[in-house]
Each structure stands twice: as C-alpha cells, then as structure tokens.
A and B are shown apart, each in its own frame.
Chain A
C-alpha cells in the first residue's frame, strides 16, 4: 500500500481523460461494493451508486476540462523543470568521467577557438556589411582604361555635374601627407582631403564639433580640419581643441570637429590623422590636387546598378572627347560591397586577392580541425556508449521513455558544447590579440572593423561549439533510437559495426591531419624559398629613404631638381656614405596596352607593370646586375630609352635579344631598350607573375616624390641616423616618409608569407594533436577490450614483444589508411593552394613523404602506451576476473 513517502515525490503530470474516468469509475465501484455488502441486489446497487454520485458525465467533463487547462498552464514550467533535471543529471554524468569531459572540451575549445579567430577576420574583411549608411547603394567610380590614378579633379567636376541626376551623394577623397609644426616639433601627419558632405553621406558620426559645410569648400575660405579620434587622443583629448588653430605647412587651420572613435574608412588610408575639405577650386590645404584617389557615389533609391551604368556610359561618350584615349572614356561603377576586396584600391587588389585566398585557406584549415575535434569527440563518446548502454538500458527498463533518454544525451552534448564554447571564446580572444600583434603594421587588413571578440564573433564561438557538442552526443543517441540494443546487461564483446565506425573516424582524422601537416610544411618551405630569392640587387649595406617634397616649399620642377642635387651631394660628402642614387617612386600601370613595335602584342598582359625613373648611377649604387647592353649615361636624359629586367624582356620578346627593340606603354611613347638587367624585385620578393619592370632615365626636372638609395660603408642600421642628420642640414622642415634598410623593405611582403606559415604550422600541430588523442583512444580501448584474449595468449606463452607488435600493427594499419585518404584528398586540393605558394608545387612528393613521416611518428607515440599496457597484462588477473 501507499506510504507517506509519497509526499516527497509530487506527481507532476496532470491527469489524462482516461485517468479521470478511471478515478470516477473506481469511486462508483466502491460505492457499489458497499451497497451490495449492505444487502442491495446488484442492479439496484449499481443504479443507486450512480444516483448518489450525481452527474457522472458532467463531472468527468468538468474534470477533463480542468486538467486540460492545468496541463496548458503547467507545460512550460514542467518543461523547464525537467530540462533542469536533465542538465543536473548530465553534469553529474560528465563529472563522473573527467577524462572524457576534459579531453572533449579541450579539443573542441582549441578547434572552436581557432575557428572563431579565423571567422573574426573573415567576417571583418569579407562578410560584415560595411558600416556606412545605405552601404548597398554605394558605388565606386572607376575610370577606364586607366584605373590608376582614378580621376583628376577637373574631370571629377565634369562628371559630377553631368551625372548629378544619375547618382547622388558624390564623394571624392585624396590622401596626402603634410607637416604639422608645433613650436620646435615638426611631425608628418596623414591627411585625408574629402569633399564637404562626405562624412554625412557615409553616415559617420562626430564626437565633437561639426562637419565641413559649403563655406569650408568655397575657394579662399579659412582652412579647417576635422581630427580623427586617434589623433585627437594623441593631442591630449582636450575638448577645447575644437575652435583652436593648429599649424600645418600650408598655414594655420581651425579645428572644427572630432570624429567618433569607431570611424574607420580604410579606403582613406590606414591611419588618417586629419580630414581637410577639398575646395570647389579643387585644392586642398592650398595644394592643387592632381588626381583623386577615389570617387564614390550613391545610386538613388529605386534605381538599379545596371541602369546607372548605362546612363554613366552615355555621359562618358559625350564628355571631354578631346582628351579621350583610343576607344573613348568609360566609367565603371562598382558596388563597394561587390569589390572582390572590399576596401582595396585597384593597386593593392592583387595583394588583397591573395588575402581572400589566404582567408579561404585558413577557413578550410580550421574547418578541418573542427572536423577532427568533432570526430574525436564522437569517437570518445562512442566508446562511452558501450559502458553507458548498460546505464541507458537500466533506465529504459525502469520506464524512461526514448524521448527522455535522448533529451538527457542532448543535455550532455549541450553542456559539453557550452563549456567548450565559453573556453573557445577565451581561446579566440587570446589568439586574436596574438594575431593582431603578429600582423605587421604594413599588412593592413582592409576592413573598417577592429579585429576582436565582439558579439558576432562570440556567438559564432558558442554556436559552433554547441553544434559540435550536440553532434558528439548523437552517437549514443543513435544507439538509443536503434532501441533493441538497450539491454540492461550488454554483452562484453563490442559490436563489430561500432568498432568499424570508430576506426573509420580515426582514419579520417589521420587523413585530415596529413593534409594539415603537408599544408604547414608547404607554407614553411615556401617562406624559406621566398627568403632565399635573389631580389636582383645588392641589398646589403643599402638604406632607402622616401621623401615627398612639400608642395608649399617646392612648388615646381626646378625646385625638385635643386633639392635632389643638394641632398645627393650632401649625402655623398658624408664619410659614412659610399654612394647615393635617386629614383622616382615606383609608378605602377595596370595597363592593357603594353605593345612591342612591329609585332602584335602577345596574348595576355602583365597584371602590374611597375616602372621608375632613375639617375644614371642608380644601377651601380643599387648593385643591379647588368645582363646585356649598357647602363644609363647622362646624355640619355630626355631620350626615350629604357632598361628592362629579364622578366619583361622574356615577356615581350621571348628569348630574342631585347637590345634595340622598342615597346610602348600607356603614354604612347616608344622606348628603345638599351640594357637588360637581372630580375628586379623592387616591390618585394614575391613577384611571381613576372614583375616586368622597366627603368627610365631621370630628367633634371624630376620629381616631387623621391626614393634615395644610400650605400653605406658601415652597417646599414648605422646609416639611418646619418641620413636623418644630413637631411636636417639640407632642409630641417622636410619630413621623412620612410627610412629603412633595403633588407627591411624586402622583408615586408614576406611578413604575410611568414604569418601564413606560422598560422598553418600552429593549426597543423593542433589538428595532429587531436588526431593523436583519437588514435590513442581507439587503441587503448581496443587493448582493454581484448585484455582477456591477450591474457590467454600470454598464458599460452606469447612473448610481450609480440603483443606490443600486435597493437602497433593495428596503429600502423589505421595510420596507413589515413595517409592514403589524405594523399588522395591532397591531389584534389593541390590546385587551390598553388597561388599562395612561392614557386612550390604542392604535389611535390618530398613534402608528402615528410608529412607522412611526421604523422607516423605521432601515431607510433600514441600507440606505445596502449601497447605497453597490452604487454603488461597479467594473465592471472584477467582470467580471475572472468
């Protein structure tokens, strides 16, 4: 019978209609019994019992309605209560198996953390919508056939007037560097000149003050500036700065506003200290703007991109026909969101294309690691199912429904996932802050977002981990669903199918690991090879200084030439300097019309065609090797001659002798080749697609932007202060744009390669470690399962060394299957990685063999412990346990 203990276990579930009917029926039956005992005959007793009860159906109906209402009200609470119970139970279960829980959580957290960190970058660079107002309607105007420089201001004005009805919110910008003087200090500042209205059109916000207004844009008005938040902070974050005057080389300028801190417009240049207005007369800070950096506009609401393109094309045909090149002007409208690299100016597009590829590669890599971690968890979880099927079986036979068991397993998965998610957010945060430090300053990620762990990234971490956790709990769940196997007392022998699944999982893990290891080896060796590449000039004891002459003090060509001569002479007079030579900045043409005389242009054009003008002694100072022909002579000045590198020579004329031949680029002048030099890597070593570089003689009137090469007698590092000192003597107010050793210049593009190599190695190590845990788990389990067999063998006289071999053999079998799978996948994926590697074929056998060797060592290490255990099985112990 019932005990008072009932009080402790409240019945949670409301009655069903059947219950209600049963209860009433029971009552009537009892009354009937009583009446019969009192001597009523049965028919009368039944009628009397019904009569005494009253309206039976009415009561039932009332009760059923009541219970139904109760159920409705109780449902959410009951559900929460049972979920809480499930979670408590799951926590107990997981705490009982700390090694399982720990290894799953840690591997998932590492993999999830890596995935999150990469996601954060991909998201910031590619996925997240641009933080500008109506960003989907913003377009960049790209002028063809020359897309660099973009547009000159005069043409911009013509376009703007003609196209005002087609596009709205026209914005143009131009970045430059000015000197700010403050008493004794002269510091260079990065300035962005924008058309008034740009900030508002982009939907940016100000911290203090106001935007540029129409008056600021009027010619001859007082100079005004808006400070970026970073520069405002650098000046002391003093609100009274607004309204004050700062001194630029162009003259005093009034601070009218301060941008809010989250404002980043990477197109404007990575830093950007100040904004100044572009005036209606197309000057900024008193300087005439030669070429705008970019022009943006917005497609009006309701118009289509295609419609706007057509309209703009019609204008293009009618405008400015005199200055039009062959084939006429064309303007391309490119949606900011659609630019393959969302923030890259055309020049850097190729570099950024590699960025996107690198990101794709990294995403694939972390996906592989995540997969390994999940498979690992599945494997460990699956092993636990064997022991747990007993527990599950007992609970099933005690009346727990399948749904309930599934929910409990899901609860376990969710807890595993949540733990891993929290941890992986931490891992991601740590690796992101590490990553940000690893990324060299010059490798600017073109994104308006700061890299870091914020809501999107963190929720990604948690979602990924939760999903992984739930997947892991799916293995035992399948067992539950299969139903029939839930016996309270499972057989000791493992089901063969489960063991095949387990081994398949390990094989897949090993295969993926092989891919990762090969990848990391490839990137590391690509980096090493890149490092060894001959840059085409002697970069030892060479320093590079870039100067952009201030237009205010050096307004015209005669001034440039005078400065150049003075500076060069002053340098050469210094005892530490062996020699100095000057070149212009590199001009890069993305030209579709590189032509040779007397021959049809070869199919295909170089992606970039960099060139620079150089003084006659440039080749000698830079240590460039002349392969044939001659170096420039002073009398070459003003003549259309060129020195090309071997790449360009091969590109234009194949193996024929290039000397005396002529070619032309965009400006239409035919230039005769007087010399061929070894491949020049003036943009850095990674110039695989043929740098196709050309040098032209520098005229006396060149140029406002100078690169000065200084060959030193001492260590190159020691020459840097000397150069600074000499420049100060020549012109104390001239800021330096860049001053570094040539070795450092060369190292810049390698930073990306090194970063990729480091990241890939770390990720590969992570993946391999996880796969090793998986292998270890499977072998250890297999040894435990076969303890009896091993004991018997031992009792029959098997050598321990044979038993060790037996286990190792199993490990090797798994390993070789994994290697085979991995190798097959590598053949398929090899092409995707090729563009990221520097002159390395990803299918090279050596790399695969090396990676396989690494993997074999790791798998052997992982098999050793289980093997030793097999060897030390005590037959007596095992047989006694029978």
Chain B
C-alpha cells in the first residue's frame, strides 16, 4: 500500500503518503499514523525505499521517500499476492458448495 503510494505519487513525505492512501481508497483505508513510520523505516532498510531530506512546498524540512527498483519488484510481487488473496476471498464468498 505504502509502496504503491510512493510508486504512483513520486517522492513523498510520510504525511503525504498517508493522505495519498486515504484519497486513493476514497477514505476507506486509514492507516494508523503511529504505525506508518516504523513501516517506512523498515522498507528503507530493506532497500525498497530511499529517502532524502528536502524542503517541502510549504517551506518545511521533510523526509521524502522514493521507491527503488527493488521496491518496485517487491510491489509487483505483493500486488500479485494480494490479487490472488482477494480472488480467493471472492471465490469463497461467491462459491456455490453444490459445485464441489
């Protein structure tokens, strides 16, 4: 989720990532704010994200995250897993036991 935000939205700081997800999910998905940063830092350590301190449009110093090639690969992998999972859930939800 975070990865796709960064992948689509370009270099973003933490708050913007949160906003992006909120907007993209039409307010359906809300990530706990306190949990976002540990996740970001972990992904950075894993080499999925890179970061740089820069000055935001509001003139504030902020840490911007961007996705790396490794991150994109992980993103593709994760979305594939998610799609499979969602498909599976959907199949279960709509399955007709009689077909078994």
Contact = CB atoms under 8 A, between A and B. Distances in A.
Contacts of A66: 38, 41-42, 45
Nearest to B57: A1
B52 A26 contact: no
A827 interface: no
6 contacts: A2-B10, A6-B11, A10-B68, A15-B41, A23-B13, A66-B42
A1 to B, nearest CB: 7
Interface string B55-91: 0111011111011110000000000000000000000
B15 to A, nearest CB: 4
Contacts of A52: 33
Contact of A63 (B37, B50, B61): B37
Interface in B4-62: 10-11, 13-16, 18, 32-35, 37-38, 41-42, 44-45, 47, 50-54, 56-58, 60-62
B34 A54 contact: yes
B68 A7 contact: yes
Contacts of B11: 1-4, 6
Contacts of A56: 34
Contacts of A11: 44, 50-52
B62 A26 contact: yes
A59 B64 contact: no
A67 interface: yes
B56 to A, nearest CB: 8
A612 interface: no
B41 A7 contact: no
B63 A23 contact: yes
A55 interface: yes
A19 B66 contact: no
A22 B61 CA distance: 8
B82 to A, nearest CB: 24
Contact of B14 (A10, A14, A15, A27): A27
A26 B37 contact: no
A14 B42 CA distance: 11
B50 A10 contact: yes
Nearest to B63: A23
Interface of A is mostly: helix
B51 to A, nearest CB: 5
A540 interface: no
A54 B45 CA distance: 23
Contact of A24 (B32, B37, B52): B37
A812 interface: no
Nearest to B14: A27
A346 B22 CA distance: 97
A26 B54 contact: no
A33 interface: yes
A157 interface: no
B12 to A, nearest CB: 9
Pairs of residues from A and B, 3 with the lowest C-beta to C-beta distance, nearest first = A54-B34, A2-B11, A30-B15
A58 interface: yes
Contacts of B38: 59, 62-63, 66
B34 A55 contact: yes
Given A4-B11, A7-B69, A53 B34 contact: yes
Contacts of A254: none
Contacts of A4: 10-11, 66
A29 interface: yes
A2 B33 contact: no
B34 A58 contact: yes
A244 interface: no
A56 B34 CA distance: 7
Nearest to B11: A2
B29 to A, nearest CB: 15
